């Protein structure tokens, strides 16, 4: 049975996630993470492949690239969660999100394939998150040179996603 994952204190995650964390509502974290996947597919249900290859401004990611970023983030944060839960003591590397997107070639993929991959990645991570014990949730780890608690990391995953869902709503999907 999954444990309740209480909201972290500000010393349980890096300061640079503070603005994301302010977006996160109170409530059941695991439910929020599960709901984000269905919310994303619903948000993009009327978007064509061509529309998904457009950016809202010069130099910004397309919808497909933003979706690829969410996939990459879920994988990387999921790996960090696995490592923290298992007591890994080695410092985990950071990553260059712009380089990852550049090398992903997300715009040559179909929107449907990206959504499918996103949902599979999130479902896989959710299975792992539901297995965490109270002891695991309170483990610390180091990623990108910053110490954080697993509980903080799990909330960062949801908050980071919410940040990007808000960008999708306000900058890509807003009707003129």
Kindly tell me if the per-residue pLDDT of 1 is higher than 70.
no
Q: Residue 166's pLDDT is what?
A: 95
What is d(CA 106, CA 40) in angstroms, rounded to the nearest whole number? 17
Residue 2: its pLDDT value, please?
60
Q: What local confidence, expressed as pLDDT, does residue 3 receive?
A: 78
Task: State yes or no: pLDDT of 176 exceeds 60.
Answer: no
Query: What is the pTM assigned to this prediction?
Result: 0.95
Domains of the chain: 10-172 (1.20.120.450)
Buried b (16+ CB within 10 A) or exposed e, 31-65: ebbbebbebbeeebeebeeeebbebbeeeebbbbb
pLDDT tens digits along 9-61: 999 999 999 999 999 999 999 999 999 999 999 999 999 999 999 999 999 99
- For 85-128, the pLDDT digits (tens) are 999 999 999 999 999 999 999 999 999 999 999 999 999 999 99
Residue 26 DSSP label: S
What distance in Å separates the CA atoms of residue 98 and residue 149, rounded to the nearest whole number? Answer: 26
């Amino acid at each position: 049975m999954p444990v309740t994952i209480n909201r972290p204190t500000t010393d349980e995650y890096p300061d640079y996630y503070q603005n994301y964390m302010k977006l996160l509502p109170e409530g059941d974290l695991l439910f929020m993470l599960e709901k984000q996947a269905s919310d994303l597919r619903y948000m993009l249900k009327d978007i064509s492949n061509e529309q998904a290859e457009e950016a809202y401004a010069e130099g910004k990611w397309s919808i497909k690239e933003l979706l690829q970023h969410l996939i990459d983030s879920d994988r990387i944060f999921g790996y960090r969660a696995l490592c923290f839960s298992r007591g890994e003591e080695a410092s985990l590397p950071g990553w260059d999100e712009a380089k990852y997107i550049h090398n992903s070639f997300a715009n040559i993929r179909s929107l449907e394939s990206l959504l499918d991959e996103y949902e599979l990645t999130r479902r896989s991570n959710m299975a792992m998150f539901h297995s965490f014990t109270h002891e695991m949730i309170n483990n610390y780890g180091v990623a990108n040179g910053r110490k954080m608690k697993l509980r903080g990391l799990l909330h960062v995953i949801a908050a980071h996603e919410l940040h990007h869902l808000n960008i999708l709503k306000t900058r890509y999907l807003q009707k003129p």
